[in-house]
Amino acid sequence: MNAPSLLNYINIRTDFKPGDIGYIIYLHGRLYSKEYGYSISFENYVALGLSEFYKDYDPHKDRVWICEHHDKIVGFILAAHRENNTIQLRYFILLPEYRGIGLGRKLMLRFIDFLYEKKCKSAYLWTTQEQVAAASLYEKFGFVLTEQKESTSFGKPLIEQRYDLTLSN
């Protein structure tokens, strides 16, 4: 199946179902270990963050986009409300076989639409210097690199990067 037609068969839902949180944590742990050599500390970081998100989840201020193909989660992104009418983009992940088909762009469009719908002033995200393709996508949507810091939080030396987006409503 070619990329444009595959994209048409991916369902994107905005609600959690039992098993979703655990599976999303699992995907992050497995993929980031395999692709970037991150330790289990990264999986724990994702688990703690998703637990916090779900505990404070407000459907009027927060959003998840869960991508499914044949009832299997193949992608995920969330928008978490923060102070001062700001949103944090977190846990953006796509299975390797679903990259490069336009799904990341589609999720970013939904994220940006959500920001405008909620009349947000700004958004931000944290990533690492290894996420070159993701950073390129963020920049295409107007995010700007604003901060960098050295870290060993995920079991290896890396550079954490913050990207910010200011909206004109």
Q: What ranges in the chain are assigned the alpha helix state H?
A: 3-8, 20-36, 40-55, 103-117, 132-140
Q: At 110, which CATH number?
A: 3.40.630.30
- pLDDT score for 5: 78
- pLDDT score for 95: 97
Residues of the chain with pLDDT under 70: 1-4, 169
- pLDDT score for 34: 97
Domain that holds residue 108: 3-166
Which percentage of the chain shows pLDDT scores above 90? 93
Furthest-apart CA atoms within the chain: distance in Å = 44
Structural domains in the chain (count): 1
Phi, psi (degrees; rounded to nearest 5) at 131:
-90, 60
**What residues form DSSP beta bridges with 86?**
82, 122
pTM beyond 0.85: the answer is yes
